[in-house]
Amino acid sequence: MSNAVEVKNLVKRYKKAERNAVDDVSFSVSEGEFFTLLGPNGAGKTTTISILTTMLTKTAGTVTIGGYDIDKHEKTIRERIGVIFQAPSIDMNLTAEENIRLHASLYGLYTFMPMFSIMSEAYKKQVLMLAELIGIKDALFDPIKTFSGGMKRKLEIVRGLMHRPAVLFLDEPTTGLDPVSRRTLWEYLHDVRRRERTTVFLTTHYLDEAENADHVCVIDEGKVLLYGTPRDMKDRLVQEYLLLDADDRDGLLRDLSAWRTQIVDEHARPLRIRLRNNEQAQEIIRAAGVSFSHLDIEHPTLEEAYVKLIEKSTAETPATV
Amino acid sequence: MNDTSAKNFSEPPGYEAAKEENPRHTPSHDDGLNNESNEADRVSGEFFREVNAVMTIALRDLTKLFRDRPRLVAGLIFPIIFIGVLGGGLNASFGKVLDYDFLTFVFTGVLAQTMFTSTASGVISLVQDRENDFSRELFVAPISRYTIVIGKIAGESLVSLWQAIGVMVFGLIIGVPLTVILVLKLLPILLIISFLGGAFGILVLANLGSQRTANQIFPFLIFPQFFLAGVFNPITALPLYLSLPSKLVPLTYAVDFLRSIYFRGSPAYEEIVLFSPVADFVVIAVVSLIFLVAGTYLFARSERNR
């Protein structure tokens, strides 16, 4: 079975640019995967997505989508992908239904008719169901201008899924949305993913959205810094801490000293103990004689790991003026 | 799909359950994303699909026009000023020395010019804002770039036609001779002219990259054509240094084509019309085709080759 997305030694240098926006990037996304491309602003994420979605030519390297080479099967690839661009690409002067009708007609799903009432019954049925699904049934025939940011995004995603793409590209889909809109949007996306097995290719600045990705790929200045599961990324970059406290502080410290544990700050409350591995926590707790007044394990977030990675990478590259 | 006994051996446990959840194989969820039931409804055939897309793109422009009331009126202002003020004013002062009605002369010129200019500038809006527009939805669709361009030209031609109707109504009010038969004869001519304008527009856009530069440069490309093509001024007796560029600008043939039909059979024909309608049509067809092919090619390249 071919990979949903296969990128090998991808290079993009914009005209008149002095350095490569994407510089020898390779990664692959298997079918049905939830893949996240991370990186700071200007890292090359949107450039990469633009190339993968046939919107931009590459300078070098190979790209295949669902086994189709992007140089030879542009149109086939376009049929098989759905794209949610960073900036909304819906027509603000049309109604929600008209935007959906345009998409369906452009992709050859239905024969275009100038009015909703004379479109085919199958189309009407599908649109009404979609509207129900994302809760815009009452606003279906209202101009998009009247929609909230979250509604527009949802409409775009629904529209982008109409032709049942094998891969859905989402370029910072939740930027600028309020937390509630962001959450409902993700609930919907996860639901779609579960039902449709759609491969999702995401770029985002909200690291919590990448927590349950199958793989993450971090790029900076056009180069891959890290590729792996979110778990790998955390293991490599951040530590877990055991949080302990006891009324008998001295007794606790004495118990811990036997373990040659790394205590971050002896005066902090509770004590933060850097863990080498998960088993270590068990051993420490079992061996301690004092009774604890506080016991917790601090799990680092992907965001912490990410920030560490980017800071490290920035420190290593000499500053360019 | 499989023989039951064979299935038990060939598929690992749990596969069946996984398949149940996947509507790609078993359309059991009625969630609006299921197209299986509409498979028969799908637009079949490569060519018909492109035609379907052309209609979709064209009708969008018309829908937008009728939703934009200020634009409905704004499109009529320039042609009315040209005909009313320029045509009327010049007719009053110089009309007496001419053997034909100068107002009608300007009217026919402006009518052709309106179709040409309006469609050209409409097509230039194809990349209204690269980052923030519906155009990206068009470019990522699995349709030919020619389909997008032709759809856009068709749409903008319909928009221009609205303006042309307005111009003709105004012409009737100020006394330009127009009959229903004549209008019906002019209709296909107007559409041919707007196709030329649209092809010209895509070539301009392809070479100027962004809409902003295109909007800045466009007047310089269009206004000289007004005078060289004789929209308001007779060009039958031009000195060589003007007659040469006059023959080179596409609008000349558009204006002449319309006048050759309008003044057909009238005594003014000989004084006004430069070429035969057939010659005009051939030039328009060839030039349109070259502009369209070169423009679309360059435009598609400039969009992706950044």
Rounded Cα distance between A74 and A71, Å, is 6
In this structure, of A47-56, B121-130, B197-206, the range with the lowest mean pLDDT score is B121-130
Phi, psi angles (nearest 5°) of residue B256: -65, -40
Q: Nearest-CA neighbor of B256 among B120, B119, B105?
A: B105
A106 and B143 within 8 Å at the Cβ level: the answer is yes
Looking at CA atoms only, how far is residue A221 from chain B in angstroms?
18
Chain A residues closer than 8 Å to B37 by CB: 122
A102 and B56 within 8 Å at the Cβ level: the answer is yes
pLDDT for A1: 59
B306 and A56 within 8 Å at the Cβ level: the answer is yes
pLDDT for B69: 82
pLDDT band at B21 (very low <50, low <70, confident <90, very high): very low
Across the A:B interface, residue pairs with CB atoms under 8 Å apart total 139
Q: Report the chain A residue with the minimal C-alpha distance to residue B137.
A: A89
Burial class for A211, CB neighbours closer than 10 Å (0-12, 13-18, 19+): middle
The closest CB to that of B33, out of A76, A196, A197, belongs to A196
Please state the pTM of the whole predicted model.
Answer: 0.82
**Percent of chain B scored above 90 by pLDDT?**
43
Interface of B with A in 125-144 (CB under 8 A): 131-143
In chain B, where the domains are located: 69-304
pLDDT band at A234 (very low <50, low <70, confident <90, very high): confident
Q: Nearest-CA neighbor of A58 among A91, A22, A85, A34?
A: A22
Chain A residues closer than 8 Å to B33 by CB: 130, 161-162, 164, 192, 195-196
pLDDT for A261: 65
Chain B residues closer than 8 Å to A90 by CB: 134, 137
The mean pLDDT value for A289-308 works out to: 87
The closest CB to that of B21, out of A54, A109, A195, belongs to A195
pLDDT for B24: 40
Q: Report the chain A residue with the minimal C-alpha distance to residue B64.
A: A93
Name residue, tokens 């051993």: A283
Mean pLDDT of chain A: 88
Q: Is the pLDDT of residue B25 over 60?
A: no
The closest CB to that of B140, out of A83, A133, A192, belongs to A83
Looking at CA atoms only, how far is residue B205 from chain A in angstroms?
18
Q: Report the chain B residue with the minimal C-alpha distance to residue A79.
A: B142
Q: Radius of gyration (Cα) for chain B, nearest Å?
A: 26
A195 and B23 within 8 Å at the Cβ level: the answer is yes
Which carries the bigger pLDDT value, residue B236 or residue A46? A46
- B205 and B241 Cβ atoms separated by less than 8 Å: no
pLDDT digits (tens, 9 = 90+) for A173-195: 888 788 888 888 898 888 888 88
pLDDT digits (tens, 9 = 90+) for B134-169: 888 898 999 999 999 999 999 999 999 999 999 999
A56 and B304 within 8 Å at the Cβ level: the answer is yes
A122 and B38 within 8 Å at the Cβ level: the answer is yes
Looking at CA atoms only, how far is residue A114 from chain B in angstroms?
7
Rounded Cα distance between A169 and A78, Å, is 12
Q: Is the pLDDT of residue B22 over 50?
A: no
The mean pLDDT value for B276-294 works out to: 96
Instruction: Please work out, in degrees rounded to the nearest 5, the angle formed at the alpha carbon of residue B105 by the alpha carbons of B104 and B111.
Output: 85
Q: Radius of gyration (Cα) for chain A, nearest Å?
A: 25
Q: Does B277 touch chain A (CB under 8 A)?
A: no
**Percent of chain B scored above 70 by pLDDT?**
84
- A160 and A83 Cβ atoms separated by less than 8 Å: yes
Indicate if the alpha-carbon torsion angle A43, A49, A55, A59 is positive or negative: positive
* Mutation site for A-interface testing, chosen from B52, B129, B145 by largest number of A Cβ within 10 Å: B52
The residues that bridge with A84 in the sheet, in sequence order, are A170
pLDDT for B11: 36
pLDDT for A51: 95
Q: Does B305 touch chain A (CB under 8 A)?
A: yes
Phi, psi angles (nearest 5°) of residue A38: -115, 160
pLDDT digits (tens, 9 = 90+) for B108-140: 999 999 999 999 988 888 877 555 678 888 989
Q: What's CA A274's distance to the chain center, in Å?
A: 29
Q: Does B46 touch chain A (CB under 8 A)?
A: no
Greatest Cα pair distance, chain B, in angstroms, is 100
Q: Is the pLDDT of residue B12 over 80?
A: no
- A281 and A242 Cβ atoms separated by less than 8 Å: yes
**What are the DSSP E strand ranges found in B161-281?**
none
Q: Nearest-CA neighbor of B165 among B152, B178, B150, B146?
A: B178
Rounded Cα distance between B160 and B122, Å, is 9
> β-strands A271-274, A262-263: how paired?
antiparallel
> What residues contact B293, with CB distance under 8 A and at least 6 apart?
none
Q: Report the chain B residue with the minimal C-alpha distance to residue A50.
A: B304
Q: Is the pLDDT of residue B38 over 60?
A: no
Q: Report DSSP state, residue B84.
A: I
pLDDT digits (tens, 9 = 90+) for A53-91: 999 999 999 999 999 999 999 999 999 999 998 888 888
B136 and A55 within 8 Å at the Cβ level: the answer is yes
Looking at CA atoms only, how far is residue A112 from chain B in angstroms?
6
- B71 and B163 Cβ atoms separated by less than 8 Å: no
> What residues contact A11, with CB distance under 8 A and at least 6 apart?
A20, A22, A23, A24, A25, A58, A59, A60, A61
Instruction: Please work out, in degrees rounded to the nearest 5, the angle formed at the alpha carbon of residue A204 by the alpha carbons of A198 and A207.
Output: 105
Q: Is the pLDDT of residue A198 over 50?
A: yes
Burial class for A73, CB neighbours closer than 10 Å (0-12, 13-18, 19+): middle
pLDDT digits (tens, 9 = 90+) for A254-282: 888 776 667 777 788 888 888 877 677 88
A89 and B135 within 8 Å at the Cβ level: the answer is yes
pLDDT for B132: 60
pLDDT for B28: 38
pLDDT digits (tens, 9 = 90+) for A113-150: 988 989 999 999 988 888 887 778 888 899 888 888 88
Token pair of B188 as six digits:
């296909």
pLDDT for B78: 81
Rounded Cα distance between B275 and B264, Å, is 12
Chain A residues closer than 8 Å to B68 by CB: 93
* Mutation site for B-interface testing, chosen from A13, A92, A95, A111 by largest number of B Cβ within 10 Å: A111
Rounded Cα distance between A93 and A33, Å, is 36
Chain A residues closer than 8 Å to B30 by CB: 129
Burial class for B99, CB neighbours closer than 10 Å (0-12, 13-18, 19+): exposed
Peptide bond into A270 cis (omega under 30): yes
Which carries the bigger pLDDT value, residue A198 or residue A313? A198
- Complex ipTM tops 0.85: no
pLDDT band at B255 (very low <50, low <70, confident <90, very high): very high
pLDDT band at A318 (very low <50, low <70, confident <90, very high): low
The closest CB to that of B140, out of A53, A114, A164, belongs to A53
Token pair of B260 as six digits:
């050759």
Instruction: Please work out, in degrees rounded to the nearest 5, the angle formed at the alpha carbon of residue A312 by the alpha carbons of A311 and A318.
Output: 95
pLDDT digits (tens, 9 = 90+) for A212-226: 899 999 999 999 999
pLDDT for B127: 73
Q: Is the pLDDT of residue B43 over 80?
A: no
The closest CB to that of A106, out of B29, B53, B133, belongs to B53
Q: Nearest-CA neighbor of B49 among A108, A132, A122, A203?
A: A108
B21 and A15 within 8 Å at the Cβ level: the answer is no
Chain B residues closer than 8 Å to A32 by CB: none
